[in-house]
Amino acid sequence: MKNKALQRSIFGLSLSLISLTLFSFTSVHKPGPDTIVAPGFKLRTVVIDPGHGHRKDGSYSGASGSFSKESIVTLAVGLKLQAAIEKDLKDVKVVMTRTDEHEVTLQQRAIIANEKKGQLFISLHCNSLSDRIVRGARGKVTRVPDRSGKGVLLLVYIFRRGNEQEAAIRENEMEDAGGKENTELMPTDPASIMLLSAFKEKYRKQSLRFATLVNEEFIGQGRKSEGVREQSLHVLARAGMPSVLVEMGYINHPEEEEYMSSEEGQNEIVEAILEAIKTYKKEVEPSTSN
């Protein structure tokens, strides 16, 4: 690499960021606040991703309840969350991956987030359970709706699509100390590899922390929770930033469908995520107090 100063900054940043050993979990413990805060960092851009949408053939992607559709619920909550952030956090820009009913591909959602230099990616979804298969007399098979699922679930990307996320990080985050885009970082360069690994570790830790904050807010509201889990998800794999997928509840559970479709329920969901963003923002930004 030609820029020796950049090499030194990469090496120093790599050493400071590598603080965890990478494991594969289906569920995780509650991580505390990050002890390494980047000097001068400000949370300026939050990307809100309302899951699913209206396909060109007229159908809706995503899950459905008895009277509602996931894509409509996620858009309603997403727009409310955008308004709440813009009202309470004046210095934070909100980027929406969609603002109407039309579906956006998983790849395009990540492209939007990366191109807008997002620093936190929040994907909104509704959970659902598949029908249960019941075998009766004489081998007769019957499909029975499974409405036993209830509660929120927070999902964080588990590193099984490393190349995809490394490419996203390289596009979105790898800048030199002066804040200018660096074009000399190469995938085969040892210092670049160290920095990519450091960013992945950093993002994993921050994603888990934010997911934990959201989960705690939901629990504080009295919502049942299935906790925080790491899972290989395409939409999160391509996002070069801390990312969390929020399963707001089970749309095929009558009570939860009613809750998520109501103004009161949607406002409470927005409040939980907004309060988590506020706490996270305080944690990742350097304190200005003496």
Residue 233 forms part of a structural domain: yes
Q: pLDDT tens across 44-82, in order?
A: 999 999 999 998 888 888 999 999 999 999 999 999 999
Q: Residue 111 contacts by C-beta under 8 Å, 6 or more apart in sequence?
A: 238
Residue 14 forms part of a structural domain: no
Yes or no: say if 118 and 95 are a contact pair by the CB < 8 Å rule. Answer: yes
Domain of residue 125, CATH code: 3.40.630.40
Per DSSP, the residues of 190-253 read: HHHHHHHHHHHHHHHHHHHHHHHHHHHHHHHTT--EEEEEEE--HHHHT-SS-EEEEEEEETTS
Q: How many domains in the chain?
A: 1
Q: pLDDT tens across 138-194, in order?
A: 777 777 777 888 999 999 988 654 555 555 555 555 443 334 444 444 555 555 555
Kindly tell me if the per-residue pLDDT of 107 is higher than 70.
yes
Domain with 169 in it: 42-284
Q: pLDDT tens across 5-54, in order?
A: 444 444 444 433 333 333 334 556 677 776 566 778 999 999 999 999 99
Residue 21 forms part of a structural domain: no
Residue 7 forms part of a structural domain: no
Residue 226 forms part of a structural domain: yes
Residue 35 forms part of a structural domain: no
Residue 101 forms part of a structural domain: yes
Residue 122 forms part of a structural domain: yes
Question: Number of helices (H) and strands (E), helices first, in the chain?
Answer: 8, 8
